[in-house]
Amino acid sequence: MSESSAPEHLFDLPPEYLDQHLERWCQHHELPGYRAKQVRQHLIEGRKYDPEEMTSLPEALRQDLSTGLLRSPLITAEQLRSSDGTIKFRFILEDGLSIESVWIPTEDRGTLCISSQVGCAAGCTFCATGTMKLTRNLHSREIVSQWLAVHAATTAEGLCGVTQVVFMGMGEPLHNYPAVSRAIDWFSSAQGFHFSPRRITVSTVGVVPRIRELVKDHPQVRLAVSLHSAIPETRDSIVPINTRHDLDQLGEVLEEIRGDSRRISIEYVLLPGINDSDEEAKALALFAARCGAHINLLPFHPFEGAPYTAAGAAEVGRFQAMVQKNYEGSVTARRSRGLDIDGACGQLVLKNPGTTKKG
Ligand code: SF4
Q: Which of 113, 120, 291, 345 is catalytic?
A: 345
Residue 44 phi, psi dihedral angles, 5° rounding:
-85, -50
H or E element in which residue 209 lies: helix 208-217
What angle is formed at CA 345 by the lines to CA 296 and CA 107, rounded to 5 degrees?
Answer: 55
Q: Which residues, 6 or more positions from 226, have their beta carbon under 8 angstroms from its beta carbon?
A: 124, 203, 204, 205, 206, 239, 267, 269
What are the angstrom distances between the C-alpha of 9 and each of 41, 61, 71, 175? 18, 15, 7, 22
- Cα(22)–Cα(359) distance, rounded to whole angstroms? 29
Q: Is 143 in the pocket of ligand 1 (CB under 6 A)?
A: no
| Residue to mutate (ligand 1; options 102, 131, 172, 203; most atoms within 8 A of CB) | 172
Q: Is 127 in the pocket of ligand 1 (CB under 6 A)?
A: yes
Residue pair 273/312 in contact by the 8 Å Cβ criterion: no
The pLDDT, as a whole number, for residue 153 is 95
Kindly report the number of other CB atoms within 10 A of residue 194's CB atom. Answer: 11
To which CATH superfamily is domain 74-341 assigned?
Aldolase class I (3.20.20.70)
- Cα(311)–Cα(317) distance, rounded to whole angstroms? 10
Same topology, domains 17-66 and 74-341? Answer is no
Average pLDDT along the chain, 359 residues, taken 10 residues at a time: 68 94 91 94 91 93 94 95 94 96 94 97 93 95 96 95 96 98 97 96 97 95 97 97 96 90 90 98 97 94 90 96 97 83 69 58
- Cα(253)–Cα(247) distance, rounded to whole angstroms? 10
Give domain 17-66's CATH architecture: Orthogonal Bundle (1.10)
Phi-psi region of 96 (alpha: psi -120 to 50; beta: other; left: phi over 0): left
Q: Is 251 in the pocket of ligand 1 (CB under 6 A)?
A: no
Flag whether the pTM goes above 0.75: yes
**Which residue owns the Cα nearest ligand 1 atom 7?**
172
The pLDDT, as a whole number, for residue 1 is 44
Kindly report the number of other CB atoms within 10 A of residue 92's CB atom. Answer: 17
**Which residue owns the Cα nearest ligand 1 atom 4?**
124
C-alpha atoms less than 13 angstroms from C-alpha of 79 in its C-beta half-sphere: 9
Residue pair 86/103 in contact by the 8 Å Cβ criterion: yes
- Cα(157)–Cα(247) distance, rounded to whole angstroms? 44
Question: Could you tell me the residue ranges of all domains in the chain?
Answer: 17-66, 74-341
Q: Is 129 in the pocket of ligand 1 (CB under 6 A)?
A: yes
For residue 166, the CA-to-ligand 1 centroid distance in Å is 14
Residue pair 87/154 in contact by the 8 Å Cβ criterion: yes
